[in-house]
Structure 1
Amino acid sequence: MAKIVLGIGCAHTPQLHTLARDWDLRGDRDRQDGVPLWFRGRKLSYAELERERAAENLGRYLDMATREESLRRSFAAMDALHASFVAAAPDVVVIVGNDQKEIFSDMIPAFAVIAADSIVNVPRTSEQNARLPIGIEISDHGHLPNDRTIYPGHRALGLHLASHLVRDGGFDVTLCHEKPTVQDDRSLLFGMPHAYGFLYKNVMRDHVVPHVPVDVNCWYYENSPTAARCHDFGTALADAIAAWNVDARVAVLTTGGLTHFVVDEAWDRMFLEAMRTRDAKTLRALPQNELMAGTSECKSWIAASAAMDRAGLSMTVVDYQKLYRTEGGTGSSCAFTRWLPAA
C-alpha cells in the first residue's frame, strides 16, 4: 500500500524572487488608498492600516540589511526543504495548491484533481507581462520555466484519488484528465499557477517527480470551502492515498501564505502552533474574514496539515520570516515547514 513519507509546507511570494531594493515597487502600490487591504478580519485602506499599526513601529524592518537577511534565511530554509525532499526520495508527489484563473476560468470548482500523464508549464509572453501589476514580472523566474516545459504527471494516482474522494470521502471533486487550457482575452495561454510552479523550481529544483495537482479553491470566495471543510478534505485525501494499492512512497506538498498582503506575525504564530500541535479545533474554526486575499492560501495548508495528522507525521517549523515592505506592515510572511514520520 502507498505510504506518506514526507510533508512540506513552503511559502510562495514574488518578494522571495525580488531583490530587496525592489520591494518598494510593490510597497509604493500598497500605499495607494485605492488598494483594499485585509487585516484581522477587516478591509482597510492603507492610511487606516498605517494608523492602526503605528505603535508597532514596523518601519524598523524596512532597511536593506534586514530585508536581505530575511531573504538569506528564507533561501536557506528552502535549501533545507529541498534536502528533505531528496532524502525522502518519494516515488510520487501530491501537491495541494490553489489556482488564480490559470487552471480554471469560467468554471471554478471547490476541489479538483488533475489526473494527467503530463503537466505542461509555459512562461508568460511579453504581452502578458506588460499587463501585470508592477513588480510581478521581475519575480517570474521563481516559478515559471524559461521555455515550454513538460513535467511528469501521475494519471493512475490521480484517477484513484478522485474516485476514492467521491465514493468514500464524501467530496464531489472535479476530475480533469489534463490541465484545462485557459487563455486570456487575447488567446494567450497560461502556465501552471505559482502555487505549483514555485514547488517545481524551489523544492524539486526542476527534477519534478511524477505528481498529481490537487486544487483547493482559496481565492474565489463564493464557493471557497470553509476551513473545517478543507480540514475534512485533507483527512479524506490521506485516506485516499493510504488506500492506493501500490507500493509507493508519497510526499504531500503545499505552498502559499501565510498572512499577506498584510503581515500579521501573531496570527501566523497561532496558525503554525495549531498545525504543529495538531489543534484541529483551532484550525477548523478559523473564520472566512481572516482567510481573505493572499491569506486565503492557508486553506491549502489546513488540508495538507490534516492529511499529515491522519498519516501520523509530525511537523517542524524550519523557519519563519516576515517580509515587510511598508510602515503599515504590507508584504508577505514566509513559513517553511516539514512533516516527518515519528522516529
Structure 2
Amino acid sequence: MAKIVLGLWTTHGPQLSTTPEEWMLRVPGDRARSHWFKGRRYPFDELVDLRRAENLAERSTLEARTRNHSACQAAIAEVARIWSDVSPDVAVIFGNDQRELVLPQLQPAYTVYYGDTFWNGPMPEWRSAKLPAGIREAEWANRPEVRTEYQGMPELAGKLLNRGLDERWDFAASNEWPEYPDHHHLGTPHAFAYVLRRVMEDRTIPTLPIITNTFFPPNQPRPWRCFELGKLVHSVIEDWDSDLRVAVVGSGGMSHFVINEEFDRGLIGAIQRRDENHLKAIDSNLMKDGTSELLNWVSASGCLFETDLQGDLIDYVPCYRSEAGSGTAQGFVAWR
C-alpha cells in the first residue's frame, strides 16, 4: 500500500524570493489599504499607533530585513535538503489560488486536479506588467525558464473524487489549467509552483494539486472542514493499492499581510502537539487576507496527524517591512 513518508508545512510568498530591498516595494500598497489584525480591520496608520510598543520600525530596518532574509534562505535550503534526502515518489500539495486560475464567476471552495499533466512556463512581459510591484520580482521562483509539463496524479485524484462523493464531499474537478487571453496569470498557481521550484528544485515528481479557496468570500471553508479534508486524503492514500512513497505539503501562510506572531506560534505549537481540537476551533475571523493560506496547513495537519511521522520546526521568521507590522511571517516545519 502507498505510504506517507514526508510531511512539510512551508510558506511560499514573494518575500522569500525577493531581496530585502525589494520587500519595500510592497509598502506603498500596505499604506493604501486597510488590514485584518486579530479579527478586526484597521487602516495602516491605526496599526502604527496600535503596535507602537512592539518597536516594529526597528524590526523592519534594512539590517533586520537582511538578517531575516538570510534566515529564510537557510530554512528553504534545509527544506530542499530534507526533500532530496527523503526522495519521495509522488506529492500531494494543499494550496490556494489568488485569482490565477479561479475567477469570481465560478469559485469552488475545493478543487481537485485530475489531469494527466499540468504546465507552467515563463510569463510574457505584457502579463507580468499587470502584477503589483514586489510580486513581479518574485516570479523567477514560481516559473521555469521554458514551458514545462508536469505529471499529475489522475489515479489518486480519481480515488479522492470518488471517496469524496461517498462521504458527502462535493469537490469541483479540473483536468486542465484554463488560459485566459487578457489575464495577469497563466500556468500553475504560485502556491504549487513555489514547491516545484524551490522545494523540489525543479526535479519534479508526479503531483496532485488540491486547491482551496482560502482568500475570497463568500465561500471560504472553515478550519474544521479543512482538517477533515486532510483526514479524507489520508484515508484515500492509505487505501491506495500502490507501493509509492508519498509526500504531503501544506503550502501558504503564515500571518500576512500583517504579522501576528502570537497566532502563528499558537498554530505551530498545535502542529507540534498534534492538537486537532486547536486547529479545528480556530476562529475564521483570524484567517483573513494572506493568513487564510494557513488553512492549507490545517488540511496538511489533518492528513499528517494520522501518520507516525515525527519532526519539528525548522524555523519561524517574522519578516516585517513596516512600522505597522505589515510583511509576512515565514514558517517551515518538516516531519519524516
| Superposed pair shares fold, TM > 0.5 | yes
TM range (shorter): over 0.9
Deviation at 1:163, TM superposition (A): 1.5
Q: How does 1:1-343 map to 2 (within 5 A)?
A: 1-32=1-32, 35-105=33-103, 106-167=105-166, 169-176=167-174, 178-183=175-180, 186=182, 190-340=186-336
Maintained 8 Å contact 2:177/2:188 = no
Distance, in Å, in 2 between the alignment partners of 1:129 and 1:142 is: 14
CA, structure 1 residues 143+302, in 2 after alignment: closer, same or farther (shift >3 Å)? same
The one-letter code sitting in structure 1 at the alignment partner of 2:154 is: R
CA, structure 1 residues 135+166, in 2 after alignment: closer, same or farther (shift >3 Å)? same
Maintained 8 Å contact 2:131/2:184 = no
- Secondary structure, aligned partner of 1:310: coil
Distance, in Å, in 2 between the alignment partners of 1:45 and 1:189 is: 29
- Secondary structure, aligned partner of 2:163: helix
1:232-291: per-residue Cα shift (whole Å, max 9, x none)?
111111011111111111000121111000011111111100111011111111111100
Maintained 8 Å contact 2:118/2:177 = no
Distance, in Å, in 1 between the alignment partners of 2:179 and 2:298 is: 27
- Secondary structure, aligned partner of 2:21: helix
Give ranges in structure 2 of 5+ residues lacking alignment. Answer: none
Distance, in Å, in 1 between the alignment partners of 2:201 and 2:2 is: 24
Deviation at 1:2, TM superposition (A): 0.7
TM, length-normalised to structure 1: 0.94
- Secondary structure, aligned partner of 2:305: helix
CA, structure 1 residues 69+173, in 2 after alignment: closer, same or farther (shift >3 Å)? same
Deviation at 1:175, TM superposition (A): 2.0
The one-letter code sitting in structure 2 at the alignment partner of 1:154 is: M
TM, length-normalised to structure 2: 0.96
Distance, in Å, in 2 between the alignment partners of 1:221 and 1:229 is: 16
Maintained 8 Å contact 1:308/1:314 = no
Deviation at 1:182, TM superposition (A): 3.7
Percent sequence identity over aligned pairs: 34
State the number of aligned residues. Answer: 335
Q: Which piece of structure 1 moves more, 99-108 or 265-274?
A: 99-108
Deviation at 1:71, TM superposition (A): 1.3
RMSD (CA atoms): 1.4
- Secondary structure, aligned partner of 2:112: strand
Maintained 8 Å contact 1:10/1:337 = yes
Give ranges in structure 1 of 5+ residues lacking alignment. Answer: none
Deviation above 4 Å: which 4+ runs of structure 1? none
